[in-house]
Structure 1
Amino acid sequence: MSLTLPACDRDLLETLPNDRLSESLFWHTENDARLAVNALYADLDGVNVLSWDALTDIAHTNQNFDIQAYIELGSYDATSSRIYTEWTNAYKGIRAASYFLANVDKVTTTNTALINQLKGEAKVLRAYQYIKLAGFFGDVPLVTTPISIEEGRSLTRTPVSQIWDFVDQELNAAAPLLPVTYAASDKGRVTRGAALGLLARANLLAGRYQKAADAADKVIKLGVYGLYESYEKLFSYAAENNKEVLLDRQFIKDTYPNTVFQTLAPYSQKNGGSSYVPTKALADLYETSSGTLITIAGSGYNPAQPYQNRDNRLKFSFYLEGDQLPSGTVFKPQPNSGTSDAVGSTYIASTTGFNIRKYINTEDYANPTNSGINIILLRYAEILLTYAEAKIELNQLDAEVLTALNTVRNGRSDVKQPSITSTSQAELREIVRRERAVELAFEGQRLFDIRRWKIAEKVIPGPVYGITYTNPNGVVSTVQVVAVNKVFDPNRHYLWPIPQKEIDLNHSLTQNPGW
């Protein structure tokens, strides 16, 4: 018996963990591969994309004690946890995708088309993270395989041009591996259109306009995408998985929910957080219903009734005075209105008097932290605007440019802005930039846009203003957010600093200029 005990002890010690999947049991079946790639979707952005616009001119971080508020004020540095979180979340997604790509060929199957499709999904999801990192930080380490902790301590930053090269190559390689559409049971997976759409976005951000135009054109010619008929309903449950969505983060109420209602809703809606709120700067960008800027004499704009006779996208994106809220009550944000949404009534109520309307659905009122609405990350309207902008920058001012712009402006039943007819490159540049601001408001693109256009120092700095209203004395007044003065230093703020924690762990990482 004593002679057999050592062998028995060894057998007892060689047990499989019961709190996780062992690699010795995984990577065998097609279902293993599917499960592994499914897990990568959890690293896509969700509600956090809404916060990015609050770092620009078109929105504001409502509570001044929020860590993000310090970025608006310019009083942040490389120790910011907000910046560190974006870095770590992106590299978590990159590592997971790289691990999948390094192991999926262990699966024994004759269904090479399926494995190639799953590889395509992983490549696109990894490229998505690199697009974001390049936009936030510029040069970042390019990691394409799983690495050890020690290997991570010696990584260096790859020039951003090479990051764009990698993204371009990956998305071009992935697109042919992916189907154009999926069956209903697989809705939400990365499609060929998503790969090409991200390719268009990446090349636009990189200033590679011909490649951006070509990729956007390929999406258009797939023939499966179009604008959803109602802008007002685009962010509702009824519109989920509609023909305009190229990529989204999918959620399920009760099972895999998000907190978008609680994050954005007015305070009167079961203590809605009003975490990020629109600004007057954005409201003023919406044209009148006749297609004229409100700053132009004779536009018909009335300061006493500033939100009437305007581009309908304004009232579909903002909660405005008199709107009905999910609770059935009326939104009354004017100071001293006596409601919990009144400016100044509480530190949580919107300090601008505006609230974001996108993604706020009546179905979520009963349980604000249990929203199942999908968060859209890329849609067809952006593709049309990318195509138009790239062609404008190339000075290829043909009818297709106007068609793309005018489809966005008046291609829905409830958005009918007059068509653009200008053939001036300078005028069209301003038009497409304004269209991106109002069409894609609160969808996470503005920060990257104003950085690449090099206009951030013109549009961000200064006080934050909100609603214009007529006070009890009959005087037209505009709300100014108390003690907030946004800052943007062009010598340092065009890139975020590399997180100090990363530099402390890896002295091979260099810091961005000015930090």
Structure 2
Amino acid sequence: MRDIKKIRILVILTFLGIISSCSDYLDVVPDNVATIDNAFVDKTQAEKYLFTCYSFLPRFDDPEGNPEFYAGDEYWIFWPIPDGYATSLDPYQIARGLQNRVSPLMNFWEGGGRVPPLWQGIRSCNIFLENIDKVTDLEPFLKNRWIAEVKFLKAYYHWYLLKAYGPIPIVDENLPISANSDQVRIERQPVDDVVDYIVELIDSVTQEEVNGGLPNRIDNKTSELGRITKPIALAIKARVLVTAASPLFNGNTDFDNFLGNDGTPLFNTNFEIEKWNRALKACEEAVVACEAAGISLYEFNENAQGATDRIKTEMSIRNAVCERWNSELIWGNVGSDVPSWAVQLTASPNLDPNITSLNLKAHFAPTLRIAEMFYTENGVPIDEDKTWSYQDRYNLRTVEASDEGMQEGYKTVGLHFNREPRFYANLGFDGATWFMRNNTWDLKTKIGQHAGKKQSVLYSITGYYAKKLVNWNMVISQGGGVSLEFYPWPVMRLADLYLLYAEALNETGNNALALEYINKVRERAGLETVQTSWSTYSNNPGKYTTQDGLREIIQQERLIELALEGKRFWDLKRWKKSASRLNTPIYGWDIGQEEYETYNRRTLLFDQKFNAPRDYFWPLSDNVLTINPNLVQNPGW
């Protein structure tokens, strides 16, 4: 393990411009007296401070506070946004190439608006760890658990900053107020050192279980769901190490001149297979821990009216996300007051032709690129399936009784025919059917139809809808009110971990076991094995037998299985695929039309650009660099 240079940081970080006053974060102490002593005077107050440490988690289920939704190419939205309609335009502007160093968008470094200041979160974690021993009425096993939770949160905040900004400072402890300005002018640390520090923190709370620590599962489901468990910590460790082994951080020569203020190289530009070996071990450990805790791939088994075998497969896919606290969930985040509320209203169009609800915005508009990404019904890419007419995918066809997921007699493009179950589970579109507990709805989205464009803001700009994110228990009342069943946002679920494991297995030469874990996910999705699908239907039947070919298959499998959940944004970055995928035009359908022929025309929405390698990491603001000149700017900014 590398010798990590641990940095102490001043309690009041005015020098760095990243921390606001004490009253901004210590809002849990009695009588509004913002003192550390009062925050740790007893068990009750200390627990409040514990929850303050949790409060800095990114708003995973906030369409405007989470860059994973709109900052890439997975979703698109109409532009310009009408004045006063949205409170934050940051993620949309990043997707449109408007990130900047004067006032950075999605500024997790300093915080603001709907984005938490993660350095302040780290500071709060350090305060907790330095003061928890003052609490005299706290049982030892409970204290050890709380300490473990906060250490994990501190690791996670470092991890999120690393993803967004690359090499960052390591803030392990708070300095006393007497520290001088030179001491608080901290420097960025090499990426590998930051990764080691994050992993060391997670290891410190998962390897020891003496007298408490992280639980393997949550037993008190009435008040503790969403708290950190050992499977959560190990799964995030696996994600950290897979990312560290991926091309963005492993052997990336694009940043060979990225140096610290003292000349220290901040990127190790040499490829190291040991990083993949380390990631593999972490994935194995996480899989074992999750399965031992009873976590398993979700299967829909309700006898709902109209639920055919095809619908049950679709609901297994949808409810792996939307059924609250289902068997597949490793980490479900409940940070917002009503988890997934904004996501569902943003995703759903009006389904009932007799009721119009202005609460259903349908803004989450998956792009045409996403629709083309899913496999055919044979489980291979649409441009590889020798039985599927790729060249006719934009031509109109009439839906027949034997065609799944669509309305008989309706006309739609060939792209929507004979696709895999995940296509119909993820996407709604003009002519599709939409299964809910109370009915199977016919989705009609041309202008003037019940699910089509309404007003200037209630519509999907692409003609696609994020069906996967809408819980099947949603009901619209006659007055337009919406009854929703909330679910925790899936920060990590088992299918995600299985595919990370498959990726690490392939990179370390274990093709057979990698296929086994991919096929577990494919089986739940109603598909045959990779071996059968490629051997039988692909025009490249031996693709899965090579490391490069299987890598491509694993990457597409991840993008499909985790589609619309935001994982694509970071995966494209770590694979160094953003430069190619985000430098191509964004298309949808011509949604302002009334007729089949005119509506189903591919329409250019935006010519997206990605400036590589600059855009792989966000800039630090000029203000931060002025306050602390030791913090060098990211390359290209």
TM-score norm. by structure 2 comes to 0.70
- Is 2:499 aligned against 1:385? yes
> Is residue 47 from structure 1 mapped to residue 40 from structure 2 by the alignment?
no
Q: Deviations over 1:147-195 (max 9, x none)?
A: 5698696232222221111111011111133111121242221111011
Aligned 8 A contact 2:168 2:190 in 1:
yes
| Partner SS, residue 451 of structure 1 | helix
Shift in Å, 1:437: 0.6
Contact kept? 2:377, 2:421, Cα under 8 Å: yes
Preserved CA contact (<8 Å) 2:340 2:488: no
Shift in Å at residue 408 of structure 1?
0.9
In 1, are the aligned partners of 2:376 and 2:385 still within 8 Å (CA)? no
In the alignment, the residues of structure 1 paired with residue 614 and residue 483 of structure 2 have an alpha-carbon distance, to the nearest angstrom, of: 37
One of 211, 236, 240 as aligned partner of 1:202: 240
Contact 1:351–1:466 (CA under 8 A) maintained in structure 2 = yes
Does the aligned pair in 1 maintain the 2:585–2:604 contact within 8 Å?
yes
Q: Secondary structure at the match of 2:569?
A: helix
Closer, same or farther: CA 382–112 of 1 in aligned 2, 3 Å: same
2:317 corresponds to which residue?
A: 231
For residues 439-488 of structure 1, the C-alpha deviation after alignment (integer angstroms, 9 at most, x for no partner) is: 11222222221122112111111221124999837479443244x21110
Contact 1:332 1:342 in 2 (8 A): yes
CA distance 1:429–1:476, shift in 2 (3 Å)? farther
1:440-455 matches, within 5 Å, as 440-455=562-577
* Matching residue within 526, 535, 542 for 1:416: 526
With a CA cutoff of 8 Å and minimum separation of 6, indicate the structure with the bigger relative contact order. Answer: 1
Q: Secondary structure at the match of 1:221?
A: helix
Deviation at 1:386, TM superposition (A): 0.6
Give the distance between the partners of 1:307 and 1:100, measured in 2 at CA.
53
Partner Cα separation in structure 2 for residue 108 and residue 381 of structure 1: 43
Q: Find out whether 1:124 has 2:152 as its counterpart.
A: yes
Deviation at 1:280, TM superposition (A): 1.3
1:403 aligned onto 2:516: yes
Q: 1:161 to 1:467 in 2, by over 3 A?
A: same
Distance apart, 1:109 and its partner CA:
5.1
Q: Which moved more, 1:162-171 or 1:26-35?
A: 26-35
Match of 1:247 in 2: 331
Tell me the equivalent position of 2:72.
56
Aligned-residue offset at 1:369:
11
d(CA) in 2 for partners of 1:386 and 1:115? 33
Aligned position for 1:138: 166
Match of 1:283 among 337, 353, 371: 371
Deviation at 1:497, TM superposition (A): 0.9
Letter in 1 for 2:445: P
Equivalent residue pairs, number: 490
Structure 2 residue 467 is matched with structure 1 residue 357:
yes
3-state SS, counterpart of residue 246 of structure 1: strand
1:33 and 1:107 in contact (8 A); partners too:
yes
What RMSD over aligned residues (CA atoms) do the two structures have, in Å?
3.1
Conserved? CA contact 1:266–1:355, under 8 Å:
yes
SS across alignment from 2:511: coil
Equivalent position of 2:288 in the other structure = 221
Quick one: distance in 2 between partners of 1:424 and 1:116? Answer: 47
CA shift, 1:211, in A, is: 1.9
Following TM superposition, by how much is the alpha carbon of 1:494 offset from its aligned partner in structure 2, in angstroms? 1.4
Q: CA deviation at 1:103?
A: 1.3
SS in 2 for 1:465: strand
Gaps of 5+ in 1: 1-15
What aligned pairs does 1:41-120 form with structure 2 within 5 A after superposition?
A: 41-45=54-58, 46-48=60-62, 51-65=67-81, 66-85=89-108, 87-88=110-111, 89=116, 90-108=118-136, 111-120=139-148
Cα displacement string for residues 42-90 of structure 1 (whole angstroms, at most 9, x for unaligned residues): 2223224754243223322444443433322223311345332565222
For the structure 1 residues 285 and 228, does the alpha-carbon distance in structure 2 shift closer, same or farther, using more than 3 Å as the test? same
* Structure 2 residue runs without a partner (length 5+): 1-28, 82-88, 208-212, 246-274, 300-315, 351-355, 394-412, 532-543
- 1:284 aligned partner, one-letter code: E
Are 1:313 and 2:451 matched, yes or no? no
2:344 corresponding residue in structure 1 = 261
CA contact (8 A) 2:123 2:174 kept: yes
Quote the residue 2:254 is aligned against: none
Partner SS, residue 294 of structure 1: coil
Shift of 1:235: 2.8
- Matched position secondary structure for 1:145: strand
Give the superposition deviation at 1:98: 1.9
Give me the whole-angstrom Cα distance separating, in 1, the residues matched to 2:71 and 2:387: 30
**Are the equivalent residues in 2 in contact too, given 1:121–1:190 (CA < 8 A)?**
yes
Seen in structure 2, the aligned counterparts of structure 1 residues 203 and 252 have a Cα distance that, compared at 3 Å, is closer
| Higher mean C-alpha deviation, range 297-306 or range 137-146 | 297-306
Per-residue CA distance 1:77-126 (angstroms, 9 max, x = gap): 11345332565222232222222112112122573222111111111122
Aligned to 1:13: none
Contact 1:260/1:371 (8 A) holds in 2: no
Q: What amino acid is aligned across from residue 346 of structure 1 in structure 2?
A: S
Aligned equivalent of 1:191: 229
Go from structure 1 to structure 2 and tell me whether the alpha carbon gap of 1:146 and 1:373 turns closer, same or farther (over 3 Å shift). Answer: farther
Q: How far is the alpha carbon of 1:341 from its aligned partner?
A: 4.4
* Structure 1 contact 465–478 (Cα < 8 Å) conserved: no
Alpha-carbon distance change, 340 to 499 in structure 1, aligned in 2, over 3 angstroms: farther
1:98–1:340 Cα change, 3 Å: farther
TM-score, normalised relative to structure 1: 0.85
- On the 8 A contact 1:227/1:243 being kept in 2, the answer is yes
1-structure distance, mates of 2:243, 2:382: 29
Query: Aligned pair in 2 of structure 1 residues 253, 453: CA closer, same or farther (>3 Å)?
Result: closer
Aligned to 1:331: 443
